[in-house]
């Protein structure tokens, strides 16, 4: 077995261990939370026997260690249980809102990485100028600013003051899309999506922009760039055709990590804009002490983040020939 295969297996084992630790922590955290998870089910008129039957139906009458083993067994089979609040399978509830989160994630990533790559090229091109200084300050500011605060400013400007975009939701009141195709071809849906996607993109742009700028500064000192200059090629052509194309490689691989963080970081944005996605569902599930639904939403988000980190590591090891394995890695 080669060093690369050993590295991949090692990273895969780390990913599985991480997911097991996350799943275990989630199980015990939700069991220790105050409140009755069956509050949505139990009627005040229920007798003690009826409540015990209901607890047994959801397996909450068993010892904690037995509940944990059943929980892990169900996870391995892809079974996340039944939501106490919605009285439906957790996967069914999650699937109803997951497309909205994916649309928000993908649109914000596309905006962020297009702006980030172009902005990084410009900052490297305008090295040691006021343009670069102002650009870096703005990037660091948007990267460190709380997403809730940014979202509120975006709402005040574009929704409350200018009235260009709606303040929340994914459609007009009382309007329900009959299919995903109808949703994707609806101007109303994209109008509702714009502000949350813009808010997420403002935060996400910082990583590709600063990474692209750093890579550009490294690449601009390479011999093939100097050779292009000696041939009399224009500076803009050198930047775009030679420097930017090679500097973009680590940025593209970093996008895999960006997918994970975008999915996990949309909770605040979905709450600010009342976006009917996975993050908002998760918060509502925690508020309702819906163990199964909250665990399912958390585990799905964590699995995506951990998997995307794994994918980014593997992609980088294949695409960058400078990466070596073994003792000298």
64-102 confidence digits (pLDDT tens): 778 788 888 888 887 777 787 777 888 888 888 888 888
CB contact set of 129 (below 8 Å; sequence gap of 6+) = none
Q: How confident is the model at residue 54 (pLDDT cuts 50, 70, 90)?
A: low
d(CA 213, CA 132): 10
- Measured between alpha carbons, how far is 156 from 159 in angstroms, rounded to an integer? 6
Q: How confident is the model at residue 327 (pLDDT cuts 50, 70, 90)?
A: very low
CB 213 within 8 A of CB 124: yes
Integer Cα distance of 326 and 4 in angstroms? 8
For position 291, what pLDDT does the model report? 76
Chain centroid offset of residue 33 CA: 26
Return the DSSP state at 158.
Answer: I
Reported pTM: 0.74
- Which CATH fold would you assign to the domain 93-319? MetI-like fold (1.10.3720)
Lowest mean pLDDT among 79-83, 190-194, 225-229, 281-285: 225-229
Sole residue written with tokens 């275990």: 24
Q: Which residues contact 263 (CB under 8 A, 6 or more apart)?
A: 101, 105, 278, 301, 304, 305
Q: How far apart are CA 322 and CA 70, in angstroms?
A: 45
Lowest mean pLDDT among 42-46, 101-105, 307-311: 42-46
Radius of gyration in angstroms for the set of CA atoms belonging to the chain, rounded to a whole number: 24
**What residues contact 158, with CB distance under 8 A and at least 6 apart?**
164, 165, 195
Instruction: Say what the pLDDT of residue 295 is.
Output: 81
What pLDDT was estimated at residue 225? 65
Give residue limits of the domains in the chain.
3-76, 93-319
84 in Cβ contact with 290 (< 8 Å): yes
> Roughly what angle, to the nearest 10 degrees, separates helices 187-204 and 130-144?
110
Count of Cβ atoms closer than 10 Å to residue 24 Cβ:
13
* 58, 71 Cβ separation under 8 angstroms: no
């Amino acid at each position: 077995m080669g060093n690369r295969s050993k590295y991949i297996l090692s990273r895969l084992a780390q990913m599985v261990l991480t997911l097991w630790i996350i799943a275990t922590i989630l199980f015990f955290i939700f069991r220790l939370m105050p409140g009755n998870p069956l509050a949505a089910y139990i009627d005040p008129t229920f007798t003690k026997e009826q409540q015990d039957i209901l607890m047994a139906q959801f397996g909450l009458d068993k010892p904690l260690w037995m509940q944990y083993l059943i929980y892990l067994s169900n996870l391995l089979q892809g079974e996340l249980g039944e939501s106490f609040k919605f009285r439906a399978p957790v996967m069914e509830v999650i699937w109803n809102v997951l497309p909205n989160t994916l649309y928000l994630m993908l649109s914000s990533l596309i905006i962020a990485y297009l702006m980030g790559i172009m902005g990084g090229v410009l900052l490297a091109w305008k090295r040691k100028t006021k343009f670069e200084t102002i650009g870096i300050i703005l990037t660091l500011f948007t990267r460190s600013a709380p997403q809730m605060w940014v979202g509120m400013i975006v709402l005040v400007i574009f929704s409350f003051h200018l009235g260009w975009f709606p303040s929340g939701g994914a459609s007009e009141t009382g309007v329900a899309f009959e299919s995903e195709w109808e949703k994707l071809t609806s101007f109303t849906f994209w109008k509702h999506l714009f502000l949350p996607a813009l808010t997420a993109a403002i935060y996400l742009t910082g990583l590709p922009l600063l990474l692209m700028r750093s890579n550009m500064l490294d690449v601009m000192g390479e011999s093939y760039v100097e050779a292009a200059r000696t041939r009399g090629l224009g500076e803009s052509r050198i930047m775009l055709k030679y420097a930017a194309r090679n500097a973009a490689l680590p940025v593209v691989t970093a996008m895999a990590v960006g997918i994970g963080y975008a999915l996990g970081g949309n909770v605040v944005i979905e709450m600010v804009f009342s976006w009917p996605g996975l993050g908002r569902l998760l918060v509502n599930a925690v508020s309702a002490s819906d163990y199964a639904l909250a665990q399912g939403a958390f585990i799905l988000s964590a699995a995506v983040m951990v998997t995307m980190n794994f994918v980014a590591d593997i992609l980088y090891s294949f695409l960058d020939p400078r990466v070596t394995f073994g003792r000298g890695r």
